[in-house]
Chain A
């Protein structure tokens, strides 16, 4: 187990009571796997990912525990977390232009990660930056290293950002929506690259996304989040083959437009996800759930095992038939 999250809660401080955004979630990430956190806006997936890197917003309050390689990360001093970021935990974001400094050559920015951690300096750092650009399959890396971010294409910037995240040799890479802003053909290149780097560098990857297609392609295990809670967690194949939580099932339907009869109505769930501060009682998903019953409205479903997965649902999809099979 490289990462263990227990009862992680994240709230935003407001006059008259904190607004809960993430509510007591727990999960483990295994060494070398690709662990995907999937959810829609407001699900708390990015907050969760950022808090692992110690980058939750300053206005938030967190409780619980995040243990990375047996060390507690939550509420540690900033300086300590800064030492870990880059060195042990790498980060990539959705928008590469926003995370690169526009007035600094790309190579220098990548080398800076080495210098900041005292791993190399001067010419050695610059040389390793060029090597790293080569490893992320940038053609002519020596030239790109001297270019400014605006002089290279979007796909190259994305690669440069990956190079920056990985140059100090982290074992865990957190990728927040790394493909969302990309065109399909570039997205495909990026997913291939991440998979190759994972093999070459023995990386554990936590990928945060709302795109089921990405999940299908790379995930070993999935955590489905809805309105700040775990809906379903477990083996990716098992969940994608037979989603048990009605929300996961709905996400799958949205992702399977290509399998629907053309021009026919899709099996969409109604309504919209609740915003911060307006989470309903009971199961957060119940107002949109086609299977909701009275208990869903008043009681929070506990996370329980069901085969290869754990899910938080009183009435999972196909549970009637499952019970009959048991009997």
Chain B
């Protein structure tokens, strides 16, 4: 390695003599940083999405590599948001990759003091049994005046504003067929 080459790799020298006197670009690059690229550049695909926080409905581009979300950016095509995201929308990569996210079923038995593990299939089956039982216990055919009610007050549901239309539709449809009138969501508060 000649002295000129060695000197040329010294950032201070390049900053003082080159076109980057403030040291914000080429002057301070090393072979390692020169090889770095944005993680959006090597995504396998970019999937169109919508921000999950408030109801403005900003467009999001979801960058995926090896089956994992690597970055979420604002979608410049959206006439709603023109590529912008707020602090929450900008943090949605950390929402979907959160290390504290719970990804297995947790079960607390009556009067229990700790969480336990439970198989998902078993859990859904237990829930189905409890729905059938609560539905019967809370069933009302008529009221005291003989008016037909044909409903149950045995159980209820809360939530929907964070879900998809298709999901809300299935919840309402199933609850109506069960006779369960007590369905509510964030729009009530």
- A and B held together in a complex: no
Give B contacts to A, CB under 8 Å.
none
